[in-house]
Copies of this chain bind each other. A is one copy, B any other.
Amino acid sequence: MQHQTITIGLAGYGTVGSGLVQILQNNRDWIRKRLGKDLRIKTILVQDLQKARTSVPPPETTLTLEIHDLVSDPDIDIVVELIGGLDTAADLIIGSLKSGKSVVTANKALLAERGPELFRLAAERNLGLFYEASVAGGIPIVQTLKESLAGNRIKSLTGILNGTANFILSEMTSACMPFSEALAKAQDFGYAEADPTLDVEGLDAAHKLTVLIRLAHGQDYPLSKLPIQGISAVDPYDIVRARDFGYRIKLIAQVKEKSGALQAGVYPALVPVDHMLAKVDGPFNAVLLEGNAVGPIMLYGQGAGDLPTGSAVLADIMSLVTRRTEYNNTGFLDAELYPAKILQPELTVSKHYFRFSVQDRPGVLSIISGIMGERNISIAQVVQKQEPDGNTVPVVFLTHAAQLQDVQAALQEIDQLSFIKSPTVHYSIL
C-alpha cells in the first residue's frame, strides 16, 4: 500500500461502522501525522439503501447492496467486515481475500466457527486478516497476545468478555434487582439486544474465548466442546450471599494450561472482592493473563460501543497500512491451527459455592456434609442465615478446593434426598 490514500470498503453501517466513520472524521489530521497517508471510505455495503440513519455516511461514499462492489473494486485496498453473522460475512471475507484485499473484521462468531479455514486462505495469499475488534472492544488484547506476549507461555487467561452480562450482574449486585429487571435496564441503555440470548447465555463470551485460545496457544478449541453456562438463572439471593462472604458473581471466560492440555469454559463464578476482576463493573471488559515470563497482566476497558470498537478496527487498518507485506494473523508461523488437547472440565479443581434448599429438620447438615466428605469435598464455611420460609431453609456451603467431577457426583446424590426441596445452586470460586 504505497499510495498516499488508502481506500476502504466498509461492510455494515451499524454501531461500529458509524463509530469508525466518526473517528476517521474527527482524527483525520492526527491519523495523517501517524501514518503519512489518508484513510478514505469509498463504498459502504448496507442492507437497505433508503433506511433513515442517525449517523449520515460521509458525502464522498457510495452505498451499495452488492458484496461485489467491495470485493471486485480494484480501488479498494482493505475491506472492513462489520455485518456480523456467518454466511454472508464469510462470502465477503473469502471473496475479498481471493481478490487480494486484506480484511479487518469484528466477527467473533465467524472466527470461532470458521477461523481455521479463513486464516489458511489469508496465509496462502499472504494477506492480512486482522480482528482486534472481535474481542473486548477497544482493549488491545489481540495485539498483546499476538506480539507483546508472544515469547510467553500463557499459563492462564481469565476474562470478563461480555459487557452486557457484566452490566446485568453489576446491576443485580448494586441494586439487588432480579435478572429480568436488570436485563430490561440493559436493553433501555442500549447494552442488550432485543434478543439477548447470545450475551446472557454465554455464547458471545465463548466465541471470544475461542479466538483468544487460538492467539494464546495456537490451538483450535472447537466451540462445540467448550462448556458454556450463562447468567439468566443467577438469583439475586446468591449474589447477596456471595457478597456477605466477600465475593462478586461475574460471568467468567477462562482457559488454563495444565501439562500441555487446555481446560476452558464460560460460566458465572464467585470472584474474591480483592481480585482485580472483581472491580470490573458495568459494561466494562477485562482480561487477566498469567504468562510464564511476564507474570500477571490485566487489560481493562470498554468491551463494546461505537467508538471503542471503532478504535480497534482503526488500529487494525493502521497496522495493515504500516506493515505493508508481513502479515501475522494468528501469531504463529504456521497458519495451520492444531486441534486443542482438551483437559476434561470435570477434572477442574477449584473451591465451590453451594446453596441447598433443605427442609428444616435435625440431622440434615450432617447428611449433606457426610456425602461431601465421602467425595473428598472439604467444607470451609457453612451459613444458614435466612429465617425458614415455611418449611424450607437455604443453607450455603463454601468448600475448599475440590474436583468438579466429585462435586457433580455429590450434588447428584444430595439432590435426590427427600429433604432437598429444589435443585442445588452451584458456582465455582475463582
Contact A27 B151 (CB under 8 A): yes
Residues of chain A from 331 to 353 with CB closer than 8 A to chain B in the complex: 331-334
**CB of A319 closer than 8 Å to a CB of B:** yes
| Chain B min CB distance to A277 (Å) | 11
The interface residues of chain B lying within 8 Å CB-to-CB of A296 are 301-302
Select the stretch in A142-150, A196-204, A395-403 that faces chain B: A142-150
Interface residues on A, range: 35 or more
Instruction: Tell me the bound Cα distance from A375 to B293 in angstroms.
Output: 52
Contact A328 B333 (CB under 8 A): no
Q: Mask for A1-44, Cβ within 8 A of B = 1, else 0?
A: 00000000000000000010001001100110111100000000
**CB of A115 closer than 8 Å to a CB of B:** no
Contact B27 A315 (CB under 8 A): no
The interface residues of chain B lying within 8 Å CB-to-CB of A33 are 218, 332-334
The interface residues of chain B lying within 8 Å CB-to-CB of A307 are 292-295
Of chain B, the residue at the smallest CB distance from A279 is B279
Q: Which of A150, A153, A298 has the most CB of B within 10 A?
A: A150
Total copies of this chain within the assembly: 2
Instruction: Tell me the bound Cα distance from A11 to B408 in angstroms.
Output: 56
**CB of A308 closer than 8 Å to a CB of B:** yes
| Chain B min CB distance to A229 (Å) | 27
Of chain B, the residue at the smallest CB distance from A36 is B333
Residues of chain A from 136 to 191 with CB closer than 8 A to chain B in the complex: 138-140, 143-144, 147-153
**CB of A238 closer than 8 Å to a CB of B:** no
Contact B299 A298 (CB under 8 A): yes
Given A34-B151, A140-B149, verify A294-B298 contact (CB < 8 Å).
Answer: no
The interface residues of chain B lying within 8 Å CB-to-CB of A295 are 138, 301-302, 305, 307-308
| Chain B min CB distance to A128 (Å) | 13
Residues of chain A from 309 to 338 with CB closer than 8 A to chain B in the complex: 310-312, 314-315, 318-319, 322-324, 326, 328, 331-334
Contact B153 A30 (CB under 8 A): yes
Contact B314 A151 (CB under 8 A): yes
Given A218-B33, A315-B151, A318-B150, verify A138-B293 contact (CB < 8 Å).
Answer: yes
Contact A333 B34 (CB under 8 A): yes
Instruction: Tell me the bound Cα distance from A315 to B148 in angstroms.
Output: 5
Of chain B, the residue at the smallest CB distance from A146 is B34
Contact B292 A276 (CB under 8 A): no
The interface residues of chain B lying within 8 Å CB-to-CB of A65 are none
**CB of A233 closer than 8 Å to a CB of B:** no
| Chain B min CB distance to A307 (Å) | 5
| Chain B min CB distance to A285 (Å) | 10
Contact B333 A311 (CB under 8 A): no
Question: Can you sample 8 A-B contacts with CB below 8 Å?
Answer: A26-B293, A33-B333, A294-B301, A294-B307, A295-B308, A299-B299, A300-B300, A322-B326
7 closest cross-chain pairs (CB), A and B: A140-B148, A138-B294, A293-B311, A36-B333, A151-B314, A297-B301, A294-B311
Q: With contacts A291-B311, A298-B300 known, what are 19 further pairs, Cβ within 8 A?
A: A19-B293, A23-B293, A31-B150, A33-B332, A34-B331, A34-B333, A132-B148, A143-B147, A276-B300, A292-B307, A293-B308, A297-B299, A297-B300, A297-B302, A299-B300, A300-B300, A322-B326, A323-B323, A323-B326
